[in-house]
Amino acid sequence: MGWPQIRCLALFIALLQLPGATPPWTPGPSGGQRGPTMSPSRFPVDDPRQTQQSPKPKIDAALAKRQAQELAKLAQEIPSSVEQADKGVLPKDLNDRLKRIEKLSKQLRRDLYL
């Protein structure tokens, strides 16, 4: 058995031992195994209580627009900073601008796709 097969087998065994995973059998009164049991649904699609859509919260359009404009402005400044970095000059605030871009994009994604 080669390494790929051993890795697959180890992954399969590890997946079987994940917390919350229930075996498809339960011991009977005599200690023997019975057939598969019906487990409660674990997926939201299977649970009728979960399928009801809650109303989405209102999006602050003005805030989202300001954040999008700031994000666009910051993103336009990055190519020139990268060109400077290629020449050996690294702008002092480049890391801060990149972090701000990341933060703004996460906020916009969370606000728009809730």
Q: What pLDDT does 23 receive?
A: 55
Q: What pLDDT does 60 receive?
A: 84
The interaxial angle of helices 61-86 and 94-112, nearest 10 deg, is 150
Q: What pLDDT does 45 receive?
A: 62
Residue spans of the chain under pLDDT 70: 1-6, 8-12, 14-57, 114
Q: Write down the pTM of the prediction.
A: 0.49
pLDDT tens for 43-63 read 666 665 655 566 666 788 899
Q: Where are the domains of the chain?
A: 61-112
Give the tokens for residue 76: 């336009």
Number of residues that make up the chain: 114
Q: What pLDDT does 59 receive?
A: 80
Q: Specify whether the CB–CB gap between 70 and 104 falls below 8 A.
A: yes
**Residues in contact with 58: Cβ distance below 8 Å, sequence separation at least 6, in sequence order:** none
